[in-house]
Amino acid sequence: MTNIIPAIDLIEGKCVRLSQGDYAQKKVYNEDPLEVARMFEDHGITHLHLVDLDGAKAKHVVNAKVLERIASKTDLMVDFGGGIKTNEDIELVFDCGANQATIGSIAVSNPELFVSWLDKYGPERIILGADILDDKIAISGWQEITQIELDDFLTKYQEKGVQYVLCTDISKDGMLQGTSIDLYKRLKHQFREMSFIASGGITYLHEIEELSKAHIYGIIIGKAFYEGRITLEDLENFIVHGSRG
């Protein structure tokens, strides 16, 4: 089963989208993220990807109150990412009601801390964030591109017991020009034990169909929804009729 996972990106508590992670290219879509989350839930969506862009920049969780509102006032399974750098950050995120935490930068800069969270909270609650540009891992809200190859990164953490991986192709994100279908198919074939969440550039319904058939665990929908390329009715059809792989 493939999960359709809408994304809500947060800046100053508002629902926004960026293009290729560029904070200068910000567009506000809704002042109230809870309203957006409830709209998704009303159409049968069960999962939500909540991204604290302020937190990613500030290097600590900023929008915890928004998470708490959404988690307490909906039944959505929320995964929260952005700014989770310390034990206090991840405790705050789970205390505020997140079902899962997406961790990227710390898995690069402090692997021991990341593995300690994996051990403490369990692999079902920790999602490894693998944001890439030209197959290299990016961190700090995509402000820094490392020299770490994606496959090496995944191999290392597969051995540590990571189950969920959210992989974003930055070059595609927010551009409405399609996603990297071949990348996700290859990753699923190569790392069979891992559950991949595809993110970045999902624009067309046929991409959802292809990724579902490839048994990709989750598909994040962002700008395509907010710009009207993919509608709630379209997403409903995938949920109800089960083009889920």
The yes-or-no answer on residue 9 being catalytic is: yes
Selecting among 52, 89, 131, 173, the annotated active-site residue is 131
Q: What's residue 240's pLDDT?
A: 61
Judged against a pLDDT cut of 90, whether residue 176 lies above it is answered with no
**Domain extent listing, the chain:** 3-241
**Which superfamily, per CATH, for 3-241?**
Aldolase class I (3.20.20.70)
What percent of the chain lies above the pLDDT cut of 70?
97
Mean pLDDT of 124-141: 92
Mean pLDDT of 201-211: 95
pTM reported for the whole predicted model: 0.93
- HEC string of the chain equals CCEEEEEEEEECCEEEEEECCEEEEEEEEECCHHHHHHHHHHCCCCEEEEEEHHHHHHCCCCCHHHHHHHHHHCCCEEEEECCCCCHHHHHHHHHCCCCEEEECHHHHHCHHHHHHHHHHHCCCCEEEEEEEECCEEEECCCCEEEEEEHHHHHHHHHHCCCCEEEEEECCCCCCCCCCCHHHHHHHHHHCCCCEEEEECCCCCHHHHHHHHHCCCCEEEECHHHHCCCCCHHHHHHHHHHCCCC
pLDDT single digits (tens) 64-119: 999 999 999 999 999 999 999 999 999 999 999 999 999 999 999 999 999 999 99
Confidence of residue 243 (pLDDT cuts 50, 70, 90): very low
What is the residue-averaged pLDDT of the chain? 93
Judged against a pLDDT cut of 60, whether residue 241 lies above it is answered with no
Selecting among 9, 54, 79, 89, the annotated active-site residue is 9
